[in-house]
């Protein structure tokens, strides 16, 4: 915890200085090579029950953060003092006026929408989807199961939930790449233009689908939504967009992240993996405990009526961030909170609590079960690739950026080093747009290196047929034609894609996920690379 005596100049009068936290670690845009669940989460419990982060709320605004399970549950229930309205920026970004339905709707109106959604996730409906979900998992795994290794985020975790979502919504599976791209713009970019573009493109597409299903309803979720009645009337356009958009942003990243943490746990705990292989009937119970231990989501509220929390006044307008991560590991609520115990049967709040409790939880659970069953059946004992750092993106969702797995005795040569060069780290091509010649890129990199401190690594960059060697051991770092030193990291990309990244026209992380930017090597050198860019 930080030195809590520091007071920011514009701290509201009702915020006690000793609760101020200026370095809450889960700040959007930050990455870590630590396992945050192992190091940061226990450390965060070593402090006051309520802290005031100066920058955790979206848009880097201040927010109160409770860490006790009891408090978080009470906040979820207290819809008199806390509202979930308008926490997402998307409608405003594209100049529209709708809310995420139902997550941004407060009671009593919320109940109407929720009643409409509940039947869409009944066990009977999910059973109808089950075969296709399993087939999607099998097909996705079949693409890498004989390789002895995979970059699990890229190969499975990010893709599988999108296929399931497309099936659920009745959308064609060939839209997968498109949705992946929109998801990254919406949820992994700090660039306001990316956010707006992702929102614009996905909303326009959803609007087209809604229009089409109005004319030709079929047996899918969008058709059910357009034909259903709530309080005796059909939903209007804004309500329908809000509903489809809520399902889109609610059901993709969350599922990818949870499956990835569950697989990472099994990769790092071979004894647990063997237990599930020996008795797959334990998988659902194991998943519940892993949902508790690796809860990755923080949800948000705004205070609408003055109240008191842990003896502290909370004023209307104050933002609240509720990390399920901390509530689920609260030492006051759980015995051995940091231990994964498959026999625990935890009543966790990974899917929230109260009226907004996740409507998609039954589907998410089936996705996890099927993913783990199919993976254990298809590949032998797996572990994380030796010597490769595992990077996590911090923020309102703690998402693994890379998960290199190996099995069958094969040593991985991949260093799928998915560090995201965040927009803040992106190249500033001096305000001018690069046209795309190798000479321009070379000039840009030479100038950038010349203004940097040594970073002690050699980076080899292959752009189409050109090889550039960046010597970060020199002072100042420079481009060289040859070096005795083996490169610490090798970057490969098509010149046009690299130029698009430099021009901020391509999201670097998405480029990695799509295999357009291939980074191999020691992860600390990749960090140097992001500084360079
Ligand atoms: C492991 C995966 C998932 C996690 C951890 C998760 C987590 C959550 C959480 C914490 C909330 C409460 C938000 C709040 O109160 O502000 C929520 C609500 C919601 N989730 Fe999920 N979710 C997951 C999967 C899904 C899926 C697969 C879908 C649908 C396809 C979905 C759709 C929704 C919707 C529509 C809401 C709003 C419910 C309401 O306001 O009544 N989620 N989810």
Q: Indicate which residue's Cα is closest to atom 24 of ligand 1.
A: 251
User: Pocket of ligand 1, candidates 259, 352, 360: which has the most ligand atoms within 8 Å of its Cβ, to mutate?
Assistant: 360
The span from the CA of 423 to the CA of 437, in Å, is 23
Cα–Cα distance, 392 to 264 (Å, whole number) = 12
- Cα(503) to centroid of ligand 1, in Å? 35
Q: How far is the CA of 413 from the centre of ligand 1 (A)?
A: 37
Average pLDDT over residues 114-139: 91
State which ligand 1 atom lies nearest to the alpha carbon of 368. 1
Asked if residue 358 lies in contact with residue 250, where contact means CB atoms within 8 angstroms, the answer is yes
Q: Which tokens go with 196?
A: 């707006």
Contact 45, 331 (CB under 8 A): yes
Inside any domain, residue 523: yes
Residue 4 alpha carbon to ligand 1 centre in Å:
33
Give 246 Cα–ligand 1 centroid separation in angstroms: 9
Q: Best of 168, 254, 301, 349 to mutate for ligand 1, by most ligand atoms within 8 A of CB?
A: 254
In a domain, 163, yes or no: yes
Distance CA 113, CA 102 (A): 6
Q: What is the mean pLDDT of the chain?
A: 87
Q: At what angle do helices 283-293 and 361-378 cross, to 10 degrees?
A: 120
Q: Look up tokens 């292989």; give the residue.
A: 277
What is residue 133's three-state secondary structure? helix
Name which residue leads in pLDDT, 49 or 87. Answer: 49
Helix axes 109-117, 237-250, angle to 10 degrees: 70
β-bridge partners, 322: 299
Q: Which is more confidently placed, 455 or 309?
A: 309
Residue at 496 is within a domain: yes
Confidence of residue 524 (pLDDT cuts 50, 70, 90): low
Of residues 290 and 418, more confidence is placed in: 290
Say which CATH number the domain at 123 has.
1.10.630.10
* Helix-helix angle 253-268:361-378, to 10 degrees: 40
Domain that holds residue 176: 113-250
Domain final residue pick, 250, 267, 289 = 250
With a Cβ cut-off of 6 Å, ligand 1 is lined by: 84, 102-103, 114, 246-247, 250-251, 254-255, 258, 297, 299, 324, 350-352, 356, 358-360, 363-364
pLDDT, position 512: 67
Query: Residue 113 in 3-state DSSP?
Result: helix
Residue nearest to atom 1 of ligand 1 (CA): 255
**528 vs 127 pLDDT, higher one:** 127
Is 351 contained in some domain?
no
Over residues 232-238, the mean pLDDT reads: 91
State residue 337's pLDDT score. 97
Q: 278: Cβ–Cβ under 8 A, 6 or more apart, which residues?
A: none
Above 60 in pLDDT, residue 138? yes
Quote the tokens at residue 371.
Answer: 């993913």
Give pLDDT, residue 159.
92
E strand or H helix that includes residue 50: strand 50-57
Cα–Cα distance, 101 to 491 (Å, whole number): 42
| Tokens coding 85 | 């309205």
Q: What whole-number distance in Å separates Cα of residue 18 and Cα of residue 3?
A: 8
Helix (H) or strand (E) holding 140: helix 123-142
Distance CA 401, CA 331 (A): 28
Residue range 387-432, pLDDT digits in tens: 788 989 999 999 998 999 999 875 444 443 333 333 333 333 444 6
Is the pLDDT assigned to residue 183 strictly greater than 80?
A: yes
Q: How many domains does the chain have?
A: 2
Query: Do 52 and 2 form a contact (C-beta atoms < 8 A)?
Result: no
Beta-strand pair 233-234/229-230: antiparallel
Does 60 map to a domain? no
- Asked whether residue 291 is assigned to any structural domain, the reply reads no
Q: Output DSSP code: residue 242.
A: H
Q: Using the atom order of ligand 1, give the atom closest to the CA of residue 259.
A: 1
Domain end point (choices 204, 229, 250): 250
Pick the atom of ligand 1 nearest to 364's CA. 27
- Residue 161, in any domain of the structure: yes
User: Residue whose CA is closest, atom 21 of ligand 1?
Assistant: 358
Report the nearest atom of ligand 1 relative to the CA of 246.
35
Distance 384 CA to ligand 1 centre (A): 29
- What percent of the chain lies above the pLDDT cut of 90? 55
Taking alpha carbons only, the member of 327, 358, 314 closest to residue 81 is: 314
Q: Is 392 helix (H, G, I), strand (E, B) or coil?
A: strand
Per-residue b or e along 58-93, where b marks 16 or more CB atoms closer than 10 Å to that residue's CB: beeebbbbbbbbebbbbbbeebebbbbeebbebbeb
Helices (H), 106-236: 109-117, 123-142, 152, 160-169, 176-187, 192-215, 221-227
CATH of residue 524's domain is 3.30.1050.10
Least confident of 145-149, 191-195, 284-288, 504-508: 504-508
Q: Which atom of ligand 1 lies at the shortest distance from residue 168's CA?
A: 30
Does 270 fall in a domain? Answer: no
Q: What are phi and psi of 248, to 5 degrees?
A: -65, -55
For atom 20 of ligand 1, the residue with the nearest CA is: 358
How far apart CA 382 and CA 398 sit, in angstroms, is 23
496 backbone dihedrals φ, ψ, rounded to 5°: -65, -35
- At residue 346, the 3 state secondary structure works out as coil
Q: Which two tokens stand for residue 162?
A: 């999108």
Among the three residues 229, 250, 271, which one is the final residue of a domain in this structure?
Answer: 250
């Amino acid at each position: 915890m930080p030195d809590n005596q520091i007071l920011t100049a514009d701290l509201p009068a009702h915020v006690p200085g000793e609760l101020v936290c200026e370095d809450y670690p889960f700040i959007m845009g930050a990455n870590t090579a630590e396992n945050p669940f192992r190091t940061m989460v226990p450390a965060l419990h070593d402090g006051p029950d309520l802290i005031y982060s100066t920058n955790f709320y979206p848009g880097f605004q201040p927010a109160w953060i409770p860490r006790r399970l009891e408090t978080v549950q009470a906040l979820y229930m207290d819809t008199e003092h806390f509202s979930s309205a308008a926490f997402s920026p998307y409608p405003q970004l594209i100049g529209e006026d709708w809310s995420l339905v139902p997550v941004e709707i407060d009671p009593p109106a919320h109940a109407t929408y929720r009643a409409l959604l509940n039947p869409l996730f009944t066990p009977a409906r999910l059973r109808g989807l089950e075969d296709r979900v399993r087939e999607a998992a099998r097909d996705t795994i079949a693409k890498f199961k004989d390789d002895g290794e995979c970059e699990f985020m890229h190969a499975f975790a990010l893709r599988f939930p999108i296929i399931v979502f497309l099936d659920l919504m009745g959308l064609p599976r060939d839209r997968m790449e498109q949705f992946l791209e929109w998801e990254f713009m919406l949820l992994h970019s700090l660039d306001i233009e990316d956010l707006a573009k992702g929102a614009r493109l996905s909303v326009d597409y959803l609007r087209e689908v809604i229009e089409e299903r109005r004319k030709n309803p079929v047996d899918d979720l969008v058709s059910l939504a357009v034909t259903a009645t709530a309080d005796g009337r059909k939903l209007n356009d804004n309500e329908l967009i809000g509903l489809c958009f809520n399902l889109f942003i609610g059901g993709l990243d969350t599922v990818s992240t949870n499956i990835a943490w569950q697989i990472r746990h099994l990769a790092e705990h071979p004894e647990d993996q063997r237990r599930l292989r020996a008795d797959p009937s334990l998988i659902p119970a194991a998943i519940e405990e892993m949902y508790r231990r690796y809860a990755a989501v923080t949800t948000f509220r705004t205070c609408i009526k003055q109240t008191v929390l842990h003896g502290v006044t909370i004023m209307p307008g104050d933002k609240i961030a509720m990390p399920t991560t901390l509530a689920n590991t609260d030492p006051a609520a759980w015995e051995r909170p940091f231990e994964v115990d498959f026999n625990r049967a935890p009543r966790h709040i990974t899917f929230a609590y109260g009226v907004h409790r996740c409507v998609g939880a039954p589907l998410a659970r089936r996705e996890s079960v099927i993913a783990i069953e199919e993976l254990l059946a298809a590949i032998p004992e797996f572990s994380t690739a030796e010597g490769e750092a595992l990077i996590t993106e911090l923020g309102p969702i703690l998402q693994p950026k890379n998960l290199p797995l190996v099995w069958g005795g094969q040593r991985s040569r991949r260093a799928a080093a998915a560090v995201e060069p965040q927009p803040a780290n992106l190249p500033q091509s001096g305000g001018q747009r690069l046209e795309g010649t190798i000479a321009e890129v070379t000039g840009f990199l030479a100038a950038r290196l010349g203004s940097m401190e040594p970073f002690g690594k050699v980076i080899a960059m292959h752009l189409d047929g050109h090889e550039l060697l960046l010597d970060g051991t020199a002072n100042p770092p420079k481009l060289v034609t040859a070096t005795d030193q083996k490169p610490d990291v090798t970057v490969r990309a098509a010149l046009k894609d690299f130029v698009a990244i430099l021009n901020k026209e391509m999201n670097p992380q998405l480029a990695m996920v799509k295999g357009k930017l291939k980074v191999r090597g020691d992860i600390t050198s990749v960090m140097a690379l992001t500084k360079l860019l």
